Amino acid sequence: MTVFKRGAITVLTVKGVPIRLHFSVLLLIPVLTYALAVQMPRVAAAAKIPTESLGLPGWAWGLLASIGLIVSITLHELAHTLVAMKYGGKVDSIVLMALGGVSQITQMPKRPTQELVMAAVGPALSVVLGVVLGLGWKAFAASPNLAFYFFMLGYLNLVLGVFNFIPAFPMDGGRVLRAALATRMGKYRATNVAAVIGKALAVAFAVFGVFGGGIWMILIAFFVWSGATQEKLYSDLQHALGHVRVGEVQSFVPQVESDSSLEEARLVLREAGADSAIVEEHGQTVGLVRKLDILSHPPDERMKLRVSACMIAAQPLTSSEELGDSFDRVLREGELPVVDPDGNATGLIRSQDIIDTLRSRGFHFPGDRKQPPSQPRP
């Protein structure tokens, strides 16, 4: 079954982790196909295969290489995901986008050495795939078409692996560097050092791009600088939240059963003066239902439709877990139900609750206006 979520369609599920294809990939494929088709003669020359011996036109080779690269990126991200899960991490999904794949890991492995292995395994797999495909190129030298495809896809995997080993965020190499540093100085300080190194590399890429490296080096410089900035901000947010527990900042909201009518849920929300309610099913917290979603249905439909048809499925947070480990998931989802360690619903946590908590602890967001110093009374 395919499921759409935030512009992406679920095409496969592995070990309970959905693999989603973002619509931007549809824009990437023709661009990548064209770029690879243009490079086909050069690739054929490097593979020592005459272009006239190839049985497909350039655009077809470009399309096949694009599809092969997307599959390779999926395997790359799956390697991250499976290792993260092996070490106790939690993974929401894998999303394949125009800029590459993203494993949405909602809970990272605790030990720096575990994070190091998790970060390194993706590019390592890409390099191994590149080597294996390179051996295939040699083994099938008598079959020009197969040898050419192995060579082209092997080369792309080697580039993918080596590029991701660059020791700068948002590449995997930046996380490898941070994890290695964290074994000596702690994760927060290690992130700061890795971010500085990443920005220094970004400046070097930009200078090289201006003096002959071309526009691609400048774009990579921007990509690396942005990645370092974002990772530093994330680390600062996590550090500012300290050891705050989810239960300390939750809001208390009503609960409704999944088989209740939407009208019953509306009345419960009105009586409580709430905008959202936790949805329970057979004693389990299964999601949320929002007043706006209920009101989007005509009054006569509300009597017939069940809450389960309108609710938003959501995996709850536990009130005892540290907010620093889960705040990004709350910010991404907007709001999530909270349960106690026994699984009983206790409330709801919203992104605004986190923002208010951060500001109360002295954290300033980009764009926040500084309060002018108070003037002494005459």
pLDDT tens digits, 226-260: 999 999 988 888 888 878 899 999 999 999 999 99
Q: Which residues contact 158 (CB under 8 A, 6 or more apart)?
A: 126, 127, 130, 131, 134
- Strands, DSSP E only, in 204-361? 255-257, 276-281, 284-290, 312-313, 317-318, 335-339, 345-350
Q: What's the pLDDT at 4? A: 41
CA separation for the pair 370, 373 (Å, rounded): 9
Q: Are 98 and 35 in contact (CB under 8 A)?
A: no
In angstroms, the CA 123 to CA 157 distance is 9
Distance, in Å, from the CA atom of 198 to the CA atom of 152, rounded to the nearest integer, reads: 30
- 248 given a catalytic annotation: no
CATH class of the domain comprising 246-360: alpha beta
Distance CA 314, CA 373 (A): 44
Q: For the chain, what are the domain ranges?
A: 1-165, 167-241, 246-360
**Tens-place pLDDT, residues 61-78:** 889 999 999 999 999 999
Regions of the chain short of the pLDDT cut 50 = 1-4, 372-378
Q: Residues with Cβ < 8 Å from 155, sequence gap 6 or more?
A: 43, 46, 130
Strand order in the sheet with 312-313: 255-257, 276-281, 284-290, 312-313
Helices 112-139 and 144-164: crossing angle, nearest 10°? 160
Distance CA 186, CA 180 (A): 10
Strand 317-318 versus strand 312-313 pairing type: unpaired
Q: Provide the annotated binding site for Zn(2+).
A: 76, 80, 172
CA dist 103 to 25, 97, 106, 215, 263, Å?
16, 11, 9, 28, 39
Amino acid 36: pLDDT: 85
| Listed residue (266, 276, 243) closest to 352, CA to CA | 276
Would you tell me the crossing angle of helices 215-241 and 172-185 to the nearest 10 degrees? 40
Question: Distance of CA 15 to CAs 11, 92, 124, Å?
Answer: 14, 11, 21
Q: What is the pLDDT of residue 369?
A: 61
Residue 223: helix, strand or coil by DSSP? helix
The binding site comprises: 76, 80, 172
What's the predicted TM-score (pTM) here? Answer: 0.80
CA distance 155 to 149: 10
Catalytic residue among 52, 77, 281, 335: 77
**pLDDT at residue number 366:** 62
Which residue in 86, 114, 123 sits closest to 178, CA to CA? 114
Q: How far apart are CA 241 and CA 257, in angstroms?
A: 33
Phi, psi (degrees; rounded to nearest 5) at 91: -125, 125
Whether 29 contacts 66, CB under 8 Å: yes
